[in-house]
Amino acid sequence: MEDSLKVAVLGGGSWATAIVKMLCENLNTVGWYMRSENSVQHIQENKHNPNYLSSTEFDTQKLFLSSDINEMVAFADVLIFAIPSAFLGEEIAKVDLPLHEKIVFSAIKGIEPKTGLIVGEYFNKELDVPFENIGVITGPCHAEEVAMERLSYLTIACQDEEKARKFSSYLAGDYIKCKVSDDIIGTEYAAMLKNIYAMAAGIAHGLGYGDNFQAVLMSNSIREMKRYIKKVHKMKRNINNSAYLGDLLVTGYSTFSRNRMFGNMLGKGYTVKAAMLEMNMVAEGYYAVKSAFELKQENAAKTPIIDTVYNIVYLKRSPKRQFKLLTELLD
């Protein structure tokens, strides 16, 4: 990757805002697309995102802001997608320019629901972006803690290690440590699966299970994740690395985790619709569990935790009854 490449973030949520904050500390100009023109104007006038991480102040001289996705795609050589996976297809449909010559990094920890593909595969198969130009930003890193400048660790995965290292230098700083990986598929599946396990942890908490059971659930979750990823993409990887286990733990335990919060509400008796309305945020695990369950039918992985969450969320089975059955399957 050349030094002169222009970088843009696409998305207006908390994770997009956190990534823009990291980039602004290392680059002179950062492109930032969000679909709300009101938000764009608010940032230009007040130097902060009105809806997410509002305490984070930006130097607007460094920002190239736009609510026109084509203007941003034309501006940038490196595109970082931080749009919730449920809306990715809708946003991509607005793009008139080809993406195959762009370097694309996904900060989306989910699955594109219409195709059932993880985001890297979606860009490759649907939009002809070559795999060597696709990267993934993952790791145990909550946007809220980035805003507070608490020490956080990211993993940058890309087939082209040189691109991963160069991109890491755009994000790394005093409170952001980066490491590189060549396991694009595995890290992206891990980022998607951990949202499902965080929902399971939340449901368990909502039902009144304690820390002892939570520990057993997390231990079984990492083993289930290992089995699942091995079935879809076999390669040498250490599942205990922070991109896999670390991301699972922070999402399963943290009060900042929206997937855990969503699961907690289901455990307390909320319907899926009521929980979504009250949260007013996208829980990626809701979409991920459907795709993960369907894909698992093809690869025959043993996934009792995914099955349990699927039964609760999509088949509307009783959380209490489903978790009673799950407790007999865990060890």
Which residue ranges form the domains of the chain, and what is each CATH number? Answer: 7-182 (3.40.50.720), 186-327 (1.10.1040.10)
Query: Cα–Cα distances in Å, from 244 out to 156, 235, 237, 240?
Result: 12, 14, 10, 6
Q: What is the pLDDT at residue 105? A: 97
End-to-end CA distance of the chain: 46
SS3 173: strand
Q: What is the pLDDT at residue 109? A: 83
Q: Which residues are catalytic, by number? A: 194
Q: What are the beta bridge partners of residue 104? A: 79, 134
Which secondary structure element, helix H or strand E, spans residue 230, and what is its range? helix 211-232
Find the radius of gyration of the CA atoms of the chain. 19
Residue 220's nearest CA partner among 193, 242, 241 is 193
Task: Determine phi and psi for 153, rounding to 5 degrees.
Answer: -120, 130
Q: Is the dihedral of CA 119, 125, 129, 133 positive or negative?
A: positive
Owner of token pair 């950062």: 30
Q: What is the pLDDT at residue 4? A: 75
Q: What is the pLDDT at residue 3? A: 63
Can you give the pLDDT of all 331 residues of the chain as single tens digits? 666 799 999 999 999 999 999 999 999 999 999 999 999 999 999 999 999 999 999 999 999 999 999 999 999 999 999 998 889 999 999 999 999 999 999 999 888 888 888 899 999 999 999 999 999 999 999 899 999 999 999 999 999 989 999 999 999 999 999 999 988 889 999 999 999 999 999 999 999 999 999 999 999 999 999 999 998 877 778 887 888 898 899 989 988 899 999 999 999 999 999 998 888 777 888 989 998 998 888 777 899 999 999 999 999 999 999 999 999 999 9
Q: What is the pLDDT at residue 185? A: 87
